[in-house]
């Protein structure tokens, strides 16, 4: 099972067993769609520091953690869809930054290395946003917490 959703620390936020399972299925669907099924995704429903959603990748590893904020479930489905797509698209782009980071660490002055890596991290945001919007136009948004089962929605 490539997606594991950890129990929410605060069930008042709407992350009950049903919504967690809906999220898990929807993320598995997106990972398949994005050809990322070889990744193992752990979803942490704690409050990330300053973003609505954050994916943490480690160089050379396909085990990643996705953090979702407390307010995620109250956002519109399209926003949820683009946000999840954006974070998963990072799994395609982050290795480029990790590789550049490792390859230039020993050959650049520390300040230059830091500027380069910060610029690269900032530059992967634009294609992540653009591709998330494009793919969201072509796929169904999630229906977390809605009546019924998202399995039918994501299977279409």
Q: What residue ranges bind Zn ion (CB under 5 A)?
A: 125, 128
How far apart are CB 71 and Zn ion at their closest, in Å? 17
How far apart are CB 87 and Zn ion at their closest, in Å? 7
Between residues 21 and 47, which has the closer beta carbon with respect to Zn ion? 47
Residue 18 exposure: Cα atoms within 13 Å on the Cβ side? 9
Count of Cβ atoms closer than 10 Å to residue 80 Cβ: 23
The residue count for the chain: 156
How far apart are CB 109 and Zn ion at their closest, in Å? 27
Alpha helix (H) ranges present in the chain?
Answer: 17-33, 77-105, 110-123, 125-138, 150-155
How far apart are CB 151 and Zn ion at their closest, in Å? 28
Between residues 80 and 128, which has the closer beta carbon with respect to Zn ion? 128
Residue 23 carries which DSSP code? H
Between residues 56 and 149, which has the closer beta carbon with respect to Zn ion? 56
One DSSP character per residue, 53-83 reads EEEE--TT--EEEEEE-TTGGGS-HHHHHHH
Between residues 96 and 151, which has the closer beta carbon with respect to Zn ion? 96
């Amino acid at each position: 099972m490539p997606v594991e959703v950890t129990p929410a620390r605060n069930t008042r936020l709407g992350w009950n067993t049903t919504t967690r399972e809906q999220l898990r299925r929807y993320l598995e669907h997106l990972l398949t769609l994005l050809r990322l099924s070889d990744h193992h995704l752990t979803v942490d429903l704690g409050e990330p520091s300053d973003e609505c959603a954050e994916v943490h990748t480690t160089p050379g590893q396909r085990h990643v953690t996705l953090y979702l904020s407390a307010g995620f479930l109250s956002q519109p489905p399209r926003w949820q869809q683009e946000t999840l797509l954006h974070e998963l698209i990072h799994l395609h782009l982050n290795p480029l930054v990790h590789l550049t980071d490792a390859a230039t660490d020993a050959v650049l002055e520390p300040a230059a290395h830091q500027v380069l890596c910060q610029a690269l991290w900032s530059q992967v945001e634009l294609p992540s946003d653009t591709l998330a919007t494009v793919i969201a136009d072509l796929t169904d948004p999630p229906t977390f917490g809605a009546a019924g089962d998202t399995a039918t929605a994501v299977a279409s």
